[in-house]
């Protein structure tokens, strides 16, 4: 019997070869060439074994701390939900993961944190893993490397709602306009939890934007998707689209998807289990802000200095401190 490879512990260093080896253990194609072909054709690839259970457990605990306002890097994330407050009354038990008390649905809403890496060292180490940035750049053909634009935690307590199918690219005001997302499972993803789902090949559709961030929590999670499909001339989208679920992906597994790939997830139908995932949004190393778009964006305008907007150039450099370079090519041959 073939011995399974131990998942990689980030504290001991993750390499791009480790990601490929994790796929090999699942009898998947492992060459960079085959992965790149799949990424270009399908709009996503999956790495079932990437991060050790010890690291996942640490991240789960750190997420609970962040949700309670405990930051070990001295500053808060860019966005966080209302902080969870555990009861101090004698005899009252501490709230469970994501604030769920096991009895009511008071906290049963999707929780979003933006840029958790800014407040927590463990998440910062994961978000800036060189091997992940390298794999993103190589799959995408980014010659100059990869830069972290943003991270997002999407956490679903038991009973919380679906996330509407959407694309990532329209929310990023950069040139070049490429965006690639790494999604990391922090729980074992079975169908009941509402795992991530991809629409195969949808990154090839037209660029028209449908919806906005306020649309993420509509009751009909596929309404925007079907509208986009109709614009592509796809009839009977409900039966024609090939939707691939990541159900079965273990905690510590990850996927990498094109910024134009339509994706979403169902509700967490479990009565007692959380569903936690981390998205890392990468852009090419050489990106610049599109000045006029960034100035109007609630998400990006705080990174655009007033003096930077006065010149004639239509673009503005991004600050390295807020948008760190994660991987750039070395002089020697680093081909996989």
Instruction: Report, as an integer, the average pLDDT of 256-269.
Output: 96
In this structure, of 94-108, 195-209, 267-281, 303-317, the range with the lowest mean pLDDT score is: 94-108
Q: Which DSSP category does 117 fall into?
A: G
pLDDT band at 2 (very low <50, low <70, confident <90, very high): very low
Phi, psi dihedral angles at 161 (to 5 degrees): -80, 170
Region 136-159: mean pLDDT is 96
User: Which has more pLDDT, 243 or 108?
Assistant: 243
From CA 127, how far away is CA 284, in angstroms rounded? 15
pLDDT for residue 24: 57
Contacts of 233 (CB under 8 A, 6+ apart): none
pLDDT of 294 over the 80 cut: yes
Stretch 48-75: mean pLDDT: 94
Would you state the pLDDT for residue 155? 96
Q: Provide CB contacts within 8 A for 70, sequence distance 6+.
A: none
User: What pLDDT digit, counting tens, does each position of 207-246 carry?
Assistant: 865 545 555 555 678 999 999 999 999 989 999 999 999 9
The secondary element (H helix, E strand) that includes residue 226 is helix 223-231
Task: Read off the pTM.
Answer: 0.89
């Amino acid at each position: 019997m073939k011995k399974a490879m131990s998942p990689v512990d980030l504290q001991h260093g993750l390499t791009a070869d480790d990601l490929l080896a994790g796929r090999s253990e699942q009898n998947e194609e492992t060459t960079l060439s085959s992965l790149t072909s799949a990424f270009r054709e399908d709009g996503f690839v999956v790495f079932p074994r990437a991060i050790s259970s010890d690291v996942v457990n640490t991240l789960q605990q750190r997420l609970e701390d962040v949700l309670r306002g405990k930051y070990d890097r001295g500053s808060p994330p860019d966005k966080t939900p209302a902080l969870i407050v555990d009861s101090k009354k004698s005899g009252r038990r501490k709230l469970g993961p994501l604030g769920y008390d096991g009895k009511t649905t008071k906290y049963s809403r999707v929780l979003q944190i933006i840029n958790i890496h800014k407040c927590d060292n463990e998440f910062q180490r994961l978000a800036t893993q060189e091997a992940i940035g390298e794999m993103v750049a190589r799959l995408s053909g980014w010659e100059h490397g990869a830069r972290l634009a943003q991270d997002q935690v999407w956490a679903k307590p038991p009973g919380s709602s679906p996330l509407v199918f959407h694309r990532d690219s329209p929310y990023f005001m950069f040139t070049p306009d490429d965006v690639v997302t790494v999604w990391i499972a922090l729980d074992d993803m079975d169908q009941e939890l509402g795992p991530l789902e991809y629409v195969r090949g949808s990154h090839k559709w037209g660029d028209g934007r449908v919806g906005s961030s306020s649309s993420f929590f509509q009751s009909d999670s596929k309404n925007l998707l079907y509208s986009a499909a109709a614009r592509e001339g796809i009839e009977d989208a409900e039966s024609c689209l090939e939707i691939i679920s990541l159900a079965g992906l273990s905690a510590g597994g990850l996927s990498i998807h094109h910024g134009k790939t339509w994706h979403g997830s169902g509700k967490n139908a479990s009565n007692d289990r959380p569903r936690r995932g981390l998205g890392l949004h990468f852009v090419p190393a050489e990106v610049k802000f599109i000045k006029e778009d960034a100035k109007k964006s609630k998400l990006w305008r705080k990174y655009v200095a007033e003096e930077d907007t006065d010149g004639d150039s239509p673009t503005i450099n991004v600050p390295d401190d807020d948008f760190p370079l994660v991987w750039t090519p070395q002089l020697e041959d680093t081909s996989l």
